[in-house]
């Protein structure tokens, strides 16, 4: 990998998941969000000779993702206006970056939940199933389901992700 | 504080609602991107060959005593004791009768994650980029490359480390415990009790009674436990890290505990103001 490729790779690895979460607020769909982020990096690669002149590549990436999302939304629904965009997708840039970074950490932490706990947590929070329905589906008691969800929320709120980096540093 | 908590809960709800396993994966995203950027890198053939070789070896080894389920995720079940198996990353495992292990088709692409039940010994191939993560019903175990055995059921997880470093994180209390060769961990979920033993030293953490017992543990280990148990940053001078420490605490405040350690060992441990 040459120097330019290394830099480009660094930007990608540092910001990819965060940018996907950022795009998700606009697109509302994980596949489309990922497509937009991919497209944004392809554009950045096309401008790689000018990469040095971009003052803050991170800021550039967030802005570019946002603009690419809005362009896609307009192209898909030419008659739609920005009023269709969820209001929380239009926060100040700094807040959007902070939120995307936090949500990327949450996404990773959900990845890392123990198998069964993740499944039960998603049944409740993603699929909207009641504790009773989850209990019937999994063969667990309602109390156990409740406990799994409580503990999942507790982990997501408090798990010290720095421990991983501390340990393997 | 309350506002931050609300913001976090809002974000948790948002992420959960859109969560898809394997999505937003940086390594996969990178592969997809670089394959569409002409002239970027020249490592595609090598990684393809590696994957083909791993898949071929996997097919060779499948059979003796291991039932491989057809559906994703890949599921292994040991019908007899000491059933060997080689995972796609060349990690070798030996399963005791009744042990189960499953991994997803994305295994070894971005990380190496498996979930398990029963008694399984692992010899993990070292890969610093892709940590090997073992998930049991009650704990999470993360390694880079090492040999260890895990015995897990719905209520408890036992870990025995033969070589290398392992990070053991019980579900409750969430206290990541670095474990090295010779160490054994026994976690019981119902009582939230973690017992760690190593030659000549041991400790017990009880999340329910909030009690901690250290017997001849190194200060760096003690401080790491305290730091996660009390969710607070603690500074330990480097030259004091390996001092041995023994004592028991039940519901003492972290300030009291640090004072006791400093007084008994004449050390200079301090609590940082910022929480972890």
**Alpha-carbon distance A104 to nearest alpha carbon in chain B (angstroms):** 8
CB contacts of A38 in chain B (<8 Å) are: 29, 32-33, 36
pLDDT above 90 covers a percentage of chain A that reads 46
Q: Which residues contact B204 (CB under 8 A, 6 or more apart)?
A: B193, B194, B195, B196, B211, B212, B213
Q: What is the pLDDT of residue B64?
A: 38
CB contacts of A37 in chain B (<8 Å) are: 29
d(CA B153, CA B138) in angstroms, rounded, equals: 8
Q: Which residues contact B205 (CB under 8 A, 6 or more apart)?
A: B173, B175, B193, B194, B196, B212, B225, B229
Which two three-digit tokens encode residue B34?
A: 């670089």
- The pair phi, psi for residue B270, each rounded to 5°, is -130, 155
Is this prediction's ipTM beyond 0.90? Answer: no
In B, residues 249-268, which contact A (CB 8 Å cutoff)?
Answer: none
For chain B, the 3-state helix, strand and coil shares in percent, each to the nearest 5, are 25, 40, 35
Q: What is the pLDDT of residue A160?
A: 43
Q: What is the pLDDT of residue A149?
A: 92
Could you tell me if B264 and B247 are in contact, meaning their C-beta atoms sit under 8 angstroms apart? yes
d(CA A114, CA A91) in angstroms, rounded, equals: 34
Q: What is the pLDDT of residue B15?
A: 94
User: Is the Cβ of A37 closer than 8 Å to some Cβ of chain B?
Assistant: yes
DSSP state of B36: T
User: Is the Cβ of B16 closer than 8 Å to some Cβ of chain A?
Assistant: yes
pLDDT in tens, chain A (169 residues): 678 888 889 999 999 999 999 999 989 899 999 999 999 999 998 888 887 788 788 999 999 999 898 888 887 766 555 555 666 666 788 888 989 999 999 998 998 888 899 999 999 999 999 999 999 999 999 999 999 999 898 888 764 444 333 333 3
User: Is the Cβ of B75 closer than 8 Å to some Cβ of chain A?
Assistant: no
CB contacts of B24 in chain A (<8 Å) are: 16-17, 20-21, 30, 33-34, 104, 107
Owner of token pair 């069964």: A116
Q: Which residues contact B39 (CB under 8 A, 6 or more apart)?
A: none
User: Is the Cβ of A122 closer than 8 Å to some Cβ of chain B?
Assistant: yes
CB contacts of B167 in chain A (<8 Å) are: 163-164, 167-168
- The greatest distance separating any two alpha carbons of chain B, rounded to the nearest whole angstrom, comes to 65
Backbone torsion region of residue A74, taken as left when φ is above 0, otherwise alpha when ψ lies between -120 and 50, otherwise beta: alpha
pLDDT above 70 covers a percentage of chain B that reads 84
Residues of chain B with pLDDT under 70: 1-4, 38-39, 41-72, 273-276
> How many CB atoms are closer than 10 A to CB A53?
7
């Amino acid at each position: 990998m040459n120097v330019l490729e290394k830099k480009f790779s660094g930007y990608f690895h540092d910001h990819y998941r965060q940018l996907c979460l950022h795009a998700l607020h606009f697109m509302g769909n994980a596949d489309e969000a990922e497509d937009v982020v991919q497209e944004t990096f392809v554009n950045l690669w096309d401008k790689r000779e000018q990469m040095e002149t971009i003052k803050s590549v991170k800021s550039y990436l967030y802005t570019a993702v946002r603009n690419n999302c809005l362009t896609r939304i307009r192209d898909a629904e030419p008659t739609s206006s920005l009023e269709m965009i969820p209001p929380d997708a239009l926060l100040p840039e700094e807040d959007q970056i902070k939120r995307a970074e936090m949500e990327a950490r949450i996404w990773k932490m959900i990845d890392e939940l123990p198998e069964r706990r993740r499944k039960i947590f998603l049944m409740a929070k993603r699929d909207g199933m009641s504790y009773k329905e989850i209990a019937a589906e999994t063969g667990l008691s309602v109390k156990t389901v409740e406990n799994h969800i409580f503990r999942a929320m507790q982990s997501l709120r408090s798990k010290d992700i720095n421990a991983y980096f501390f340990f393997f540093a | 504080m309350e506002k931050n908590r609300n913001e976090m809960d809002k974000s948790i709800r948002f992420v959960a609602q859109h969560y898809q396993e394997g999505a937003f994966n940086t390594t996969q995203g990178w592969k997809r991107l670089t394959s569409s950027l002409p002239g970027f890198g020249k490592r595609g053939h090598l990684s393809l060959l590696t994957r083909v070789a791993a898949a071929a070896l996997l097919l060779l080894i499948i059979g003796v005593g291991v039932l491989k389920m057809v559906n994703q995720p890949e599921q292994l079940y040991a019908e007899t004791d000491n059933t060997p198996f080689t995972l796609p990353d060349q990690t070798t495992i030996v399963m005791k009768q009744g042990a189960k292990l499953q991994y997803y088709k994305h295994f070894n692409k971005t990380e190496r994650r498996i979930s398990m039940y029963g008694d399984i010994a692992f010899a993990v191939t070292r890969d610093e980029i892709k940590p090997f993560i073992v998930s049991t019903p009650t704990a999470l175990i993360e390694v880079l490359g090492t040999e260890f055995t895990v015995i897990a059921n719905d209520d408890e997880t036992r870990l025995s480390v033969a070589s290398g470093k392992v990070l053991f994180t019980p579900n409750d209390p969430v206290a990541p415990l670095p474990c090295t060769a010779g160490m054994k961990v026994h976690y019981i979920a119902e009582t939230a009790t973690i017992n760690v033993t190593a030659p000549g030293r041991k400790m017990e953490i009880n999340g329910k009674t909030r009690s901690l017992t250290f017997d001849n543990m190194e200060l760096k280990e003690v401080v790491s436990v305290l730091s996660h148990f009390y969710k607070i940053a603690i500074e330990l001078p480097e030259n004091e890290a390996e001092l041995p420490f023994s004592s028991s605490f039940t519901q003492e405040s972290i300030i009291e505990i640090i004072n006791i350690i400093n007084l008994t060992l004449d050390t200079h441990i301090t609590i940082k103001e910022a929480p972890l």
